[in-house]
Amino acid sequence: MTAINSIGLDTKKTKDIANDLNDLLANFQIYYQNLRGIHWNIKGKRFFDLHVKFEELYTDANLKVDEIAERILTLGETPLHTFQDYAAKAQVPVGKNISEDEKAVELIVDSLTQLLKIERQILDKSGDANDEGTNSLVSDFITEQEKTVWMMKAWLS
């Protein structure tokens, strides 16, 4: 017999989804820290525009980190919360000492591309598990991030 959790979902499937959400959480934390780094270190003629944009992006990423962690808790699991765990699961590239505008924007595109891959895997599993809460959360992330990738690539052109 299938075990059902307090929100009416199969516990085996939600555990698997929560594991994937922890992967997403770890990668979002790396992405967030990348954004902080390029926000602090950006230089050049586009400083004022990019400094503000990077702050907007890291503020949004910080909110998403919280939403992901809360969804993991809602599914009955524990969110990762150490940098050691984040680093071990990181698939997003780590940006270090990036101060040049194009390299910073390329880091964002590369990071979002990786996050989108993880999110699409979660979307497949959450759909199969009838997990509308996770499905909705991740679907909204995908919509926003696809638009950001498009805008960043347009900026790079």
Could you read off the pLDDT of 8-29 as tens digits, one per residue? 999 999 999 999 999 999 999 9
Report residue 86's pLDDT band, with 50, 70 and 90 as the boundaries: very high
Residue 66 confidence (pLDDT) above 90: yes
Query: 27, 91 in Cβ contact below 8 A?
Result: yes
Residue 52 confidence (pLDDT) above 90: yes
Instruction: Record the pTM.
Output: 0.96
pLDDT digits (tens, 9 = 90+) for 104-123: 999 999 999 999 999 999 99
What pLDDT score was predicted for residue 146? Answer: 98
SS3 at position 94: coil
What pLDDT score was predicted for residue 2? Answer: 87
Cα–Cα separations (whole angstroms), residue 135 to 16, 17, 21:
14, 10, 11
pLDDT digits (tens, 9 = 90+) for 138-156: 999 999 999 999 999 999 9
Residue 1 confidence (pLDDT) above 90: no
What pLDDT score was predicted for residue 31? Answer: 98
Helix (H) / strand (E) containing 103 = helix 101-128
Q: What is the mean pLDDT of the chain?
A: 97
CA distance 30 to 11: 28
Residue 132 confidence (pLDDT) above 90: yes
